[in-house]
Amino acid sequence: MKDAKLNSVVNEGDVIVPDAVFDGKRLRGGVGLSIHSDTISLVEETDLNRCVRVEGILSPGFFDIQVNGGGGVLLNADPTVEGLAKIAAAHRLTGTTRFLPTVITDRPEVTSEAADAVIRAKSRFGICGIHIEGPHISLARRGTHKSDFVRKLDQQTFDLVSRLRTNGIPTMMTVAPEAVLPGQITALVGRGVVVALGHSDATADQTNAALLEGAQTFTHLYNAMSPMTNREPGVTGAAIASEAYCSVICDGIHVSPTMLRIAMRAKPKKDRIILVTDAMPTVGGPDSYSLYGQTIFLKDGRLVNAEGALAGAHVTMLQSIAFTVQQLEQTPEASLRMAITNPARLMGMERDVQIERTSPKDLVLIGRGWDTLSFPFC
């Protein structure tokens, strides 16, 4: 038997035995993992002569469906393959091995350039598609999205979506129910788009109508959406009451822990919460970046503009999982499902995150305190 530290390299043929293995669905104890020619196998009873025991949880890497930037790069500002590579590298260091590069509301040509970059980078850097967040959103709930670029859903967007789908790119699009015409969400879904609802001041009735048209998820629940009140549930109430997925930013800044606990307990269907970082260039990069020509600063863990308003998130997926376990009273298994299984299922990729189908280089070993992470097979 050999002892192993978090950063050790495991030899082919060894059986690695962590505290637990997350297999893509369940957290399992008493199992090991062996690798032969890049083929991963779970082993119930290990050969102790070739056993490497390590502390922590061994898991497929995380899947983040909302990544605006990282490594000093904002996708809107650098919509290129090179920019995508830098973003991917920054997030990989913290355990995210699959992600959707996210382009927010901007000039049509910027959105188009981002789409073209994702097409050229297809199947590289852990890119699993694209998330187009805006520009078909509510002016009243646009947040940091620039009002000059907000517009109704039009043929230009349908043409862009068709180009992405023709090239085999999984596509998510965040829209506000009030910014689209009846039937347009159905048309997007018919083209294979995963439609998310967000940045919206809609009523619950408008929101439910969008769900009936095929919208499947909500973007950063509670943030940039009409709140739940005693007489009008708004987008927030409709989201929590629905069987649709809801993504959440768990950084302790964007949403109160109490409100997050309420949503996690109240969802009527299990496994409908998805952790997202909504990360900006400061993750793995400098402490400031430019958004629409305005400098955004990192101050006390918050990304704020000159007026002190929030402008994105500075959090990693590992930190989000730790927050969910330690502050929101969620089990490690449930938290890992929020970061891996649930987003993969939403995007139709649940089989891809099963541990036996994961490339060894994309397996992560998470420390017992949820504050360290390594890639033991790299």
Say which of 278, 300, 362, 371 is annotated catalytic: 278
DSSP type of residue 340:
I
DSSP state of 325: H
**Smallest Cα–Cα separation from 192: which of 219, 177, 170, 160?**
170
Beta strands 32-36 and 39-43, pairing class: antiparallel
278 is catalytic: yes
Ranges assigned E (strand) in 39-151: 39-43, 51-53, 57-60, 62-67, 69-70, 73-74, 96-104, 130-133
**HSE-up of residue 156 (Cα within 13 Å, Cβ side):** 11
Whether 130 and 118 have beta carbons less than 8 Å apart is answered as yes
Query: Which residue in the block uniquely carries the two structure tokens 């199992």?
Result: 31
Structure tokens at 17: 């035995």
In order of 15, 38, 40, 59, 359, the CA distances from 49 in angstroms are 9, 21, 19, 23, 25
Which element (helix H / strand E) includes 299?
Answer: strand 294-299
Supply the residues annotated as catalytic. Answer: 278
